[in-house]
Chains A and B, each alone.
Chain A
Amino acid sequence: MATVVQRPKLSLLERSYFPALLGGMWITIKHFFKMMAGQTKVTMQYPEQRWDSAMPEWYRGAPTLVRDEHGRERCVACQLCEFICPPRAIAIKPGELDAAGKWAKVEKYPEKFDIDMIRCIYCGLCEEVCPEQAIFLRKDYSITGLTRAEMVHDKAKLYELGGVMDGLVHKWNEKK
């Protein structure tokens, strides 16, 4: 059934548009003067002011690698993150740990660990899949560079961004 919308009956004054025009002008000038007086606070001046303090703990920023409390790199170069990465942003070259070293039982470590930040989609699957809790999406969101090469985060950069995270994985620690 068709709905018939009743058009409102407009008075002559309303049909002249003037009340509506002046009403609109009044609204805009109010906004203008409120802004002039500094009462309106909407815009954040981005590079100077940031929302970092309001960011939640679970924010999915740039993926990073972390070390544990012994300073050992957690990554064991299992390459699960490389395989699951949907845009194939991660490239790992595994290496073998020195048999005489303290952490020889871990056996493998990443010789090279590159994340191409142009490809990364910040999905967090690498963090989810990592059995060693070695890769985390931290709060860095402003990843910039002047060249493509600059946008590829290598191991050093990833550890610099990630820092240390203690606890969580204890299986490689000394037996008590």
Chain B
Amino acid sequence: MPSLDLLFQPEIFLTWTSALKTSVILGVVLTMVAYSVWAERKVSAFIQDRVGPNRVGWAGLIQPIADGVKLLLKENFVPAGVNKLYFSIAPSLAMIPAILVLAVLPFGSSLFGVPMVIADLNIGVLWVFAVSSLGVYGIVLAGWASNSKYPFLGGIRSSSQMISYELALGLSVIPVFMVVGTLNLGEIVRYQVENGWMVFPVWFSQGAGPLELTTDSGAMFGLNWEKILLWIPMMISFVVFMIAMFAETNRVPFDLPEAEQELVGGYHTEYSSMRFALFFLGEYAAMIAGAGVIVTLFLGGWSLPFVPDGAQGWFWGLVNIGTFFAKVAAIIFLFLWVRWTLPRFRFDQLMKLGWYVFFEVALINIFITAGILAFLKS
């Protein structure tokens, strides 16, 4: 079987497994995007004692498809006076960065020996920050190219908001790298498998797996001074990162770029049909990617305590993948829950919060972590 051997040449193997992983993860995430819109409507309805979509399919489960078909069939209207080039590329610029972030997220341990991450970059987190902040260009360009005052205001708000929160976002994860000692997201998850999650560090595990629970040298629950001391800056990091992520993905209470009550529809007021849908989907894709980053950095990625990784068999590999997406779904639920509870900030409050509170907290947190690490080393 020469052809089969060819498939397992290292380079060729890498090529086709990467292509396979990319297409599968793209399919899964785009489905999740569609269904998080459904979840948004359902959760908001339940919180407000309504029923939500329940006509198209069981519990409205086919609603996203119906919505997609509707949007495809609508007229793609381009108003007179817009900058046509920027107007038409802005929706894609809003959608693409959100999807690119997924490339470095480890969504599982390994399956049949193939690591479940599309690109195992050593600069993983830098990639995430670099690419996800490009998302603001889509919004700014849309606001500017629309040649209309409300979208313009939305675009301006978006740019200032993202710049303010980018700092807190970047600074708040530095303590994580100081503890772990790498920027590689896969390594960060590995660290959390062995030392407990960043926000819940209450177990050790020398190897991985429930089998070792039976032996004396295996995994166990426990805390020591080192963990408790490091827990404090990690929680601060987590809270700041989480809130900055809300701002970064334009979710309530920081959804000023599309504040309906003030700015009509915000930056996408002039858009219709599939271009509008791309903005909409881009927002949710950014939310999913953001949730993935939060899960990877602070909630142990694909790991569950005492569940073995993919090296123990393909079943556990699938369990790990399922765990990752379950955690992402839980974070998305939190996003939705917050959206339908909290009122929107005023713009000056938002800026004040970003520059006076979160920036400082994140900065001080770095020094706290450094101090703790120095204390522990000595």
Contact = CB atoms under 8 A, between A and B. Distances in A.
A24 interface: yes
Interface in A19-62: 21, 24-25, 27-29, 31-32, 34-36, 40, 42-43, 45
Nearest to A34: B49
A41 to B, nearest CB: 9
B46 A36 contact: yes
Contacts, number: 34
A32 B42 CA distance: 10
B342 A31 contact: no
A31 B338 contact: no
B51 A31 contact: no
B92 interface: no
Contacts of B48: 31
Give the interface size bracket for A toward B: 10 to 19
A31 B49 contact: yes
A32 B51 contact: no
Nearest to A45: B51
Contacts of B341: 24-25, 27-28
A21 B342 contact: yes
A25 B46 contact: no
Contacts of A21: 342
A32 B342 CA distance: 15
A173 to B, nearest CB: 53
A65 B45 CA distance: 43
Given A24-B341, A25-B337, A43 B50 contact: yes
A54 B46 CA distance: 26
A27 B50 CA distance: 15
B337 A35 contact: no
Contacts of B45: 35
Question: Interface centre among A28, A29, A40, by most B CB within 10 Å?
Answer: A28
Interface residues of B, number: 13
A31 B47 contact: yes
Interface string B321-351: 0000000000000000110111000000000
Contacts of A28: 47, 337, 340-341
B38 to A, nearest CB: 15
Contact of A35 (B49, B338, B340): B49
Given A24-B342, A25-B337, A31 B46 contact: yes
Contacts of B274: none
A35 B46 contact: yes
Given A21-B342, A24-B341, A25-B338, A43 B43 contact: no
A161 to B, nearest CB: 29
A21 B49 CA distance: 20
A40 B49 contact: yes
B49 A42 contact: yes
Contacts of A34: 49
Contacts of B47: 28-29, 31-32, 35
A40 B51 CA distance: 10
Contact of B337 (A32, A42, A43): A32
A29 B336 CA distance: 11
A21 B50 CA distance: 22
B172 to A, nearest CB: 18
Contacts of A29: 47, 337
A91 B338 CA distance: 58
A35 B43 CA distance: 10
A92 B124 CA distance: 81
Nearest to A35: B46
Interface in B300-339: 337-338
A24 B253 CA distance: 13
12 contacts: A24-B341, A25-B337, A25-B338, A27-B341, A28-B47, A28-B337, A31-B48, A32-B46, A36-B46, A40-B49, A43-B49, A43-B51
List 8 A-B pairs, minimum CB-CB distance, nearest first. A35-B46, A28-B341, A28-B47, A43-B51, A32-B46, A24-B341, A42-B49, A32-B47
Given A31-B46, A31-B47, A43-B50, 16 more contacts: A24-B341, A24-B342, A25-B337, A28-B337, A28-B340, A29-B337, A31-B49, A32-B43, A32-B47, A32-B337, A35-B47, A35-B49, A36-B46, A40-B49, A42-B49, A43-B51
Interface of A: 21, 24-25, 27-29, 31-32, 34-36, 40, 42-43, 45
